[in-house]
Homo-oligomer: A and B are copies of this chain.
Amino acid sequence: MAGREIGRTAIAPEWIDYNGHLRDAYYAVILSDVTDSFMDQIGLDSAYREKTHCTLYTLEMHLHYLLEVKQSDEVSVQLRLIAHDKKRIHASFEMYVPRHTSPVCTAEAMLLHVHQGETVGSAPFPSEVMQVLANWQEESDAMAPTEPPSRAMGLKSR
């Protein structure tokens, strides 16, 4: 357990590839979908987006593929806040299936709060969102960090 559960997803048959398991990219699709649930939970829901023209953009995402996921699996995703500031959220994700105790995938994402107008620019979170993030951060800081952490990739490091 390394975070709050933010969503659960069944595996669509078309997400399974010729290797007989969940295609790598659909782990990212699952994370993206549950990130919408996370946005709802911190007050950046569709009503907020419509009213303010503000939303989250993903700047960077790292995925670590640890175990295969099969069509019959139901995936649950936990999110921990590694850090946040006035306009960015650095989140880590752990993806679980019931038949394994260790995560099938871990990931990190850097998310930026932006205002979409004629141009797109970064924008500070409203104070009520900052308060929700502060609570989530405090809870996250008490949890074990997700392993492996994000890192430079290289043949020698393995």
Contacts and interface: CB of A to CB of B under 8 A. Distances in A.
**Oligomer: number of copies:** 2
Nearest to A155: B83
Interface stretch (A20-28, A72-80, A96-104, A125-133): A20-28
Nearest to A49: B18
A64 interface: yes
A65 B59 contact: yes
A151 B55 CA distance: 25
Contacts of A108: 153
B19 A23 contact: no
A152 B150 CA distance: 5
A116 interface: yes
Nearest to A29: B25
Nearest to A84: B155
A110 interface: yes
A46 to B, nearest CB: 7
A58 B65 contact: yes
A65 B151 CA distance: 17
B58 A24 contact: yes
Interface of A: 18-20, 23-26, 28-29, 31-33, 46, 49, 55, 57-65, 68, 83-85, 88, 90, 108, 110, 116, 120, 149-155, 158
18 contacts: A19-B55, A19-B57, A19-B116, A24-B32, A25-B31, A25-B33, A28-B29, A29-B29, A58-B65, A60-B65, A61-B62, A83-B155, A85-B155, A90-B153, A90-B154, A108-B153, A110-B155, A152-B152
